[in-house]
Structure 1
Amino acid sequence: MRQDRAFKEALSSFIATVFPTDTLLRALREMERHQVRMLGVVGEGGGLLGLVSESHILAAWGGDPLAPVSEVMARVTAPPRERPRLRLLLPRLRRKPRGLPAGKR
């Protein structure tokens, strides 16, 4: 739980960000400028859409350094909702009261 909180805090406070339409070259320059190996990719409203790492960029560099970041970024998805508890899905079974064993009546 504590580690999860630290991860969320790290995602919410990126030093540098790029837009999905920025080029790989621009993203690499931002990484060099801020001395980081990962950037947040944000939308127009500032919401986090994904992450792009130095390894993403270098893997795609031979293809086209002017390709948009959106082609190589790792998309961030919403966390899965908590699974509903099984006991809430199943109707409650009424147990018949057990009688005493035949020999103890």
Structure 2
Amino acid sequence: MDEGFFQRAYDIVRQIPQGRVATYGQIARMMGEPRKARFVGFAMHSSPGMAGGVPCHRVVFKDGSLAPGFAFGGPNEQRRMLDAEGIEFLPNGKVDMRRFQWEA
């Protein structure tokens, strides 16, 4: 995937407000690339993260599932980061998307 795609994804993810989440597909649609949700995932995995101003922990799967544990340095790290922002989870461990999905 080209560097331009990743940068465009990062630019959108930087706009997700604290206390909200977006989906990989939502980011892809906002980029005008509706069939490239998986590539958005690749971009998030390669991102500089919060240190680089990209809050990629706010990007989740459409059902509210979190990234595999390795993505953030540990199995509970993404959840810890979202908890710290006030994001609430359903009993099944997924983000409550009806309440916390970003309406961009």
Shorter-chain TM-score: which interval? under 0.3
Query: By percentage of residues, which structure has more strand?
Result: 1
Query: By percentage of residues, which structure has more helix?
Result: 2
What is the TM-score normalised by the length of structure 2? 0.27
Which protein has greater RCO, CA pairs closer than 8 Å, 6+ apart?
A: 2
